């Protein structure tokens, strides 16, 4: 019977390795564009990287009545936006949510998104569980998070 014991120990080690790896899911550079005065909707963008396959099943934030995952595609010269029920995260592949592609739609904003501000966003994953990030609000029309050296203080903007 020693072979069964070895298999059981190998199984337990395998489970522990899988559990340890799911803790390494990373959410990088969460950002959003500032919204004009009375805009009811906004969008947030980020990159997700996980060493193991996972699935983003829900997103929420206190600054919006509803938060949805959306995909955008061109169909016959028309940009179409569709909600996604979930987003598969393949092992080891970076999934980028960005303008003009997949993104997080903030529906029914409770307040405008103001440049220089931030808000909390909770992403719920099938395996990694809930992850809260702070979304930095960039200028209107920004194409991505501000590029700055790691650990550098945020850039100061002076208006004259």
Among 128, 46, 134, which Cα is nearest to 95's? Answer: 46
pLDDT band at 128 (very low <50, low <70, confident <90, very high): very high
User: What was the pLDDT predicted at 158?
Assistant: 37
User: What was the pLDDT predicted at 119?
Assistant: 98
**42 in a structural domain:** yes
What is the rounded average pLDDT of the residues 110-129? 96
CATH of the domain at 122: 2.60.40.1890
Query: How many Cα neighbours within 13 Å face the side chain of 54?
Result: 30
Task: Please enumerate in sequence order all residues whose Cβ is within 8 A of that of 158, keeping only pairs 6 or more positions apart, or say none.
Answer: none
**70 in a structural domain:** yes
pLDDT band at 155 (very low <50, low <70, confident <90, very high): very low
Number of domains forming the structure of the chain: 1
């Amino acid at each position: 019977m020693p072979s069964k014991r070895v298999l059981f120990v190998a199984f337990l080690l395998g489970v522990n390795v899988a559990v340890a790896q799911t803790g390494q899911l990373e959410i990088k550079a969460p950002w959003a564009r500032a919204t004009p005065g009375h805009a009811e909707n906004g969008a947030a963008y980020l990159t997700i990287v996980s060493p193991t396959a996972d699935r983003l099943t829900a997103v929420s934030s206190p600054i919006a009545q509803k938060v949805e995952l959306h995909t955008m595609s061109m169909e016959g010269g028309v940009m179409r936006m569709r909600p996604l029920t979930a987003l598969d995260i393949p092992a080891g592949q970076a999934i980028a949510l960005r303008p003009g592609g997949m993104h997080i739609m903030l529906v029914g904003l409770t307040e405008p998104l103001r440049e220089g501000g931030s808000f909390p966003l909770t992403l719920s994953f099938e395996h990694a569980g809930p992850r809260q990030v702070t979304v930095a609000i960039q200028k209107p029309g920004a194409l991505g998070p501000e590029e700055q050296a790691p650990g550098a203080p945020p850039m100061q903007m002076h208006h004259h």
